[in-house]
Amino acid sequence: MNVEFTEEYLEQAFEYYNELIFDGKLPVPWLRWSHSKTRLGVMKCKGMSKLGRTRIYDFTISISDYYELTKEQLEDVLIHEMIHLSILSAGIEDTSPHGIVFRGMMDKINRTFSRDITISARKQKLQPRVAQQSKDYLVLAFETKDGRYYLSSVNPSAVEKLISTLERVGELVHYTCYHSQDEFFQTLPRVRSLRGKPVSKEVYTTMIAKMKLLK
């Protein structure tokens, strides 16, 4: 079965398997597509230590759209990363990234739900997808008064609502909407709310120079 490589697909798949396998207990991460040739899936997070305890937060799951995979194969990759998310968000210590706890959960999920989740995929047997035509992205660029810069790929249906929200946000220096076909935005979700990818001033300035101002 073919897969639509959209943020909506990832969100729906995550929600479905969170309920089916993890009893709806997983925190909702930032879900995104990547174009990685080396890793089919990645789960990243941030950590902060305080008073001898470490708090894990800001989870991101990235799934590669580079290879030809079936829907079942892609969702096995997603569930693999969801196991990592389950372990880390619960503060469980494993013997290694794919240690005893991970392998135990993986084996149980494979048996219970007839999945084929593995520790690593043999990518040499996979074929790259046919090159896709360039996509158009509606980009919101904004800068805050404390010197932070953000780029956001916006769902076109939500742009008017977002602009209305921006007009009431006092922390912004300015904001502008652009058109772009740059692959930089391929990995960003098309958002409907005010959020974006933090970037350096140099990246912000470079990207703006390459984009077409939205009229």
Q: pLDDT over 90 for what percent of the chain?
A: 48
Say what the pTM is: 0.61
Tally of residues, the chain: 215
Mean of pLDDT over the chain:
87
DSSP string, 143-188: EETTS-EEEEEB-GGGHHHHHHHHTT-TTEEEEEEEEE--GGGGGS
| 32-58: pLDDT as tens digits | 998 888 899 999 887 655 545 556 668
- Please state the φ and ψ torsions of residue 127, each to the nearest 5 degrees: -105, 135
| Whole-number pLDDT of residue 22 | 97
* Alpha carbons 209 and 72: distance in angstroms, whole number: 41
CA 172 to chain centre: 25
pLDDT digits (tens, 9 = 90+) for 67-100: 989 999 999 999 999 999 999 999 899 999 999 9
Beta strands in the chain, from DSSP E residues, in sequence order: 30-34, 41-50, 53-64, 137-144, 149-153, 172-180, 197-199, 212-213
Q: Give residue 142's Cα distance to chain centre.
A: 20
Backbone phi, psi, residue 121, to 5°: -95, 150
